[in-house]
Amino acid sequence: MVCLFMAGPASDYRRMISSLKPDFLITQLEKDKNGTVAVGFKFLALGFFALLVTSLIAIPISTYLSGSGISYSTTQLVGLAAIVSMMVLITIFISLMFIFARILGGKGNFPSHFYHLSILIGGLLTTVAFLNLLPVIGFLLSIGVIFYSAYLFFLVYSRLHKLGPIRSIFLAIFPVIAALLFLLLMIILFAVVIGAIAGAYR
C-alpha cells in the first residue's frame, strides 16, 4: 500500500476508488468537463501499477506454495509482459468504445470519454488488484466487481454521451464481456506458462 502511494498521489487513488460509487461518478461526470487524454493515461498507469505490484506479490507466493520452484525473476517477466499487453489493449478498447458511442449518437468528445473511463477503469484495476491477494475468494469477488462495473459504464454512456437507456446498456455490456473473456484468457495463459516453466525445473 505504501508503494502505491509513493508511485502516485494518494488523492488520485482515492479518486479512482471513489469513482466506483455511483453518486460520486455522476457528480464527476457532470462537473469535470475539462479532462484530457494525458491525465487519463496517468490514472490508467496508476491502476496498472497497482495490478503489477500485487501480482508480483501474489504470483511468487502461489508458485512457492505449489512447490513449482519458479524463480521470482521469471514471475516478474511474465507479470510485466501481461500488464503491459493489458494496458495497450485497454487503451485500444477505450478508443473503440468511443467510436461505437458516436455511431449510436453519443455527444461526448474523445478527451472527456478517455479521461472519465480511465479514472473508472483505474479504480476497477486497483480494486481487483488488492482482491487478487485473497486466495480463491478474491477471484470470486473480482468477478462480482466486473459485473457491477456494467452499471458504472452505463452511467458514463448515459450521462457523458447523453445516450438513451437501451443504447447505454448495449455499450455497457461490452466492457463486461471483454473483461470476462480477458480474465479467462489470462488464467489459461498463466496456467500454460507456469506449467511450462515448472516442467523445465523438473
pLDDT score for 7:
47
- In three-state form (DSSP H/G/I as H, E/B as E, the rest C), the secondary structure along 31-59 is HCCCCCHHHHHHHHHHHHHHHHHHHHHHH
Q: Is residue 102 part of a domain?
A: yes
**Residue 4: is its pLDDT beyond 60?**
no
| Cell numbers 484530457: residue | 36
**Residue 1: is its pLDDT beyond 50?**
no
CA-wise closest residue to 16 among 118, 98, 114: 118
Confidence band, pLDDT 50/70/90 cuts, at residue 133: confident
Domain count, the chain: 1
Confidence band, pLDDT 50/70/90 cuts, at residue 175: confident
Q: Is residue 87 part of a domain?
A: yes
* 71 three-state secondary structure: coil
Q: Is residue 50 part of a domain?
A: yes
Distance CA 60, CA 68 (A): 10
- Containing domain of residue 41, as a range? 35-197
Q: Is residue 19 part of a domain?
A: no
Please calculate the CA angle 60-87-165 and round it to the nearest 5 degrees. 120
Mean pLDDT, residues 27-39 = 89
Pairwise pLDDT comparison (63 vs 143), residue with the higher score: 143
Q: Is residue 2 part of a domain?
A: no
Q: Write the DSSP assignment of 102-162 as a string of letters.
A: HHTT----HHHHHHHHHHHHHHHHHHHHHHTTSTTHHHHHHHHHHHHHHHHHHHHHHHTS-
Encode pLDDT of 91-106 as tens digits: 899 999 999 999 999 9
Q: Is residue 26 part of a domain?
A: no
Mean pLDDT, residues 6-18 = 79
* 20 three-state secondary structure: coil
Distance CA 183, CA 189 (A): 10
| Cell numbers 513449482: residue | 68
**pTM for this one?**
0.80
Percentage of residues in the chain having pLDDT higher than 70: 75
Mean pLDDT for the chain?
A: 81
Distance CA 92, CA 157 (A): 17
Lowest mean pLDDT among 5-14, 45-54, 140-149, 155-164: 5-14
Q: Is residue 8 part of a domain?
A: no
Q: Is residue 9 part of a domain?
A: no
